[in-house]
Structure 1
Amino acid sequence: MILTGLLIGAALGYVLQRSRFCVTGAFRDIYLSRSTRYFTPFLLAIAIQAVGVAALTSAGVLSPEAASFAPLAVIGGGLIFGVGIILAGGCATGTYYRAGEGLIGSWVALIFYALFAAVMKFGPLGGFTEAARARTVGSATIQETLGVSVWVPTVVFAGLVAALVVWQVRRNAARSAGRSAVSLPARRTGIGHYLADIPWSPWVGGVLLGLIAILAWVASTAAGRNGGLGITTPSAKIVTFLSTGDVTLVDWSVMLVLGILVGSFIAAKLAGEFRWRVPDASTILRSAGGGVAMGVGAALAGGCTIGNSLVETSLFSYQGWVSLIAIILGTWGAAWFLLVRPQRAAASNRPAPVLTPAA
Structure 2
Amino acid sequence: MLVTILSGGLVGIVFGFVLQRTRFCMTGGFRDMYIAKNYTLFNAFIIAITVESIGVISLWKLGYISNPYEEYSVLGTLLGSYLFGIGIVLAGGCATGTWYRAGEGLIGSWVALIFYMLSAASMKYGALKGLNQLLTQNWVINDNLPKSLGISVWYFVALLTIISILIVLKELKSPKTEIAKLPPRYSGLRYLLFERTYHKYWAGFTIGIIALIAWPASEFTGRVGGLGITTPSANLITYITTGDARLLNWGVYLVLGIFLGSFIAAKGAGEFRWRIPDVPTLLKSSIGGLLMGVGASWAGGCTIGNGLTATAVISSKGWIALPVTILGVWTASYFIFVRPSQK
Computing the radius of gyration from Cα coordinates, the structure with the larger value is: 1
Decide which of 39, 43, 55 is 2:42's aligned counterpart. Answer: 39
Given residue 24 of structure 2, which amino acid in structure 1 is its aligned partner? Answer: F
Counterpart residue number, 2:116: 113
**Structure 2 stretches of 5 or more lacking a match?**
none
Instruction: Report the Cα distance in structure 2 between the residues aligned to 1:204 and 1:98, rounded to whole angstroms.
Output: 21
Which of 287, 303, 315 is the aligned partner of 1:289?
287
- Helix, strand or coil: the match of 2:40? coil
- 2:215 matches 1:217: yes
Give 1:72 shift: 1.2
Contact 2:116 2:293 in 1 (8 A): yes
Q: Deviations over 1:241-260 (max 9, x none)?
A: 11111011111100000000
Cα distance per residue 1:114-156 (max 9 Å; x no partner): 0000011111121331342122355422211222332121112
1:298 equivalent in alignment to 2:301: no
| Whole-angstrom CA distance in 2 between matches of 1:271 and 1:318 | 39
Equivalent pairs counted in the alignment come to: 340
Deviations 1:293-352 (A, max 9, x none): 10000000000000000000011111101111110000000000111001111xxxxxxx
Residue 168 of structure 2 corresponds to which residue in structure 1?
165
* Alpha-carbon contact 2:70-2:142 (below 8 Å) kept: no
What is the aligned counterpart of 2:84 among 81, 85, 88? 81
SS of the residue corresponding to residue 38 of structure 1 reads helix
Q: 3-state SS of the aligned residue for 2:39? A: coil
Pair 257,138 (structure 1): closer, same or farther in 2 beyond 3 Å: closer
For 2:108 and 2:140, the matched residues in 1 are separated by 39
In structure 2, give the amino acid aligned to 1:108: V
Q: Where do 5+ consecutive residues of structure 1 fail to align?
A: 346-359
Secondary structure at the counterpart of residue 275 of structure 1: coil
TM-score by length of 1: 0.92
Quote the Cα distance in structure 2 between the aligned partners of 1:137 and 1:281: 41
- CA 1:38/1:235 → structure 2, altered by over 3 Å: closer, same or farther? same
CA distance in 2: counterparts of 1:230 and 1:128, whole angstroms: 22
Q: Is the aligned partner of 1:58 residue 2:61?
A: yes
Equivalences for 1:181-200 in 2 at 5 Å?
181-200=179-198
Using the TM superposition, give the Cα deviation of residue 209 of structure 1 relative to its aligned residue in structure 2, in angstroms: 0.5
Percent of pairs with identical residues: 47
Partner Cα separation in structure 2 for residue 206 and residue 157 of structure 1? 14
CA contact (8 A) 1:77 1:299 kept: yes
| TM-score, with length taken from structure 2 | 0.96
Structure 1: how far apart are the matches of 2:316 and 2:338?
Answer: 31
Answer whether contact 1:68 1:136 (CA < 8 A) is retained.
no
User: What is the alpha-carbon distance in structure 1 between the residues aligned to residue 51 and residue 91 of structure 2?
Assistant: 29
SS in structure 1 at match of 2:227: coil
Conservation of the 8 A alpha-carbon contact between 1:234 and 1:254: yes
Instruction: Give the corresponding residue for 1:320.
Output: 318
Distance 2:104 2:276 in 1: 12
Q: Which residue among 25, 30, 41 is the counterpart of 1:27?
A: 30
* Pairing 1:211-290 to 2, within 5 Å after superposition: 211-290=209-288
Residue type of the alignment partner of 2:136: R
Partner residue, 1:2: 4
Residue in 2 that maps onto 1:349: none
- Once the two structures are superposed, the pairs formed by residues 333-348 of structure 1 within 5 Å of their partners are 333-345=331-343
Q: Residues 70 and 143 of structure 2 are in contact (CA less than 8 Å); yes or no, is this contact kept in structure 1?
A: yes
* 1:90 alignment counterpart: 93
Q: Is the 8 A contact 2:69 2:142 kept in 1?
A: no
Please give the alpha-carbon distance, in whole angstroms, between the structure 2 residues aligned to 1:68 and 1:325: 20
Instruction: Give the AA of the match of 1:334.
Output: A
Q: Distance in 1 between matches of 2:267 and 2:75?
A: 43
Shift in alpha-carbon separation, 1:116–1:139, aligned structure 2, 3 A:
closer
CA–CA separation in structure 1 for the residues paired with 2:146 and 2:218 = 24
Alignment-derived partner of residue 206 in structure 2: 208
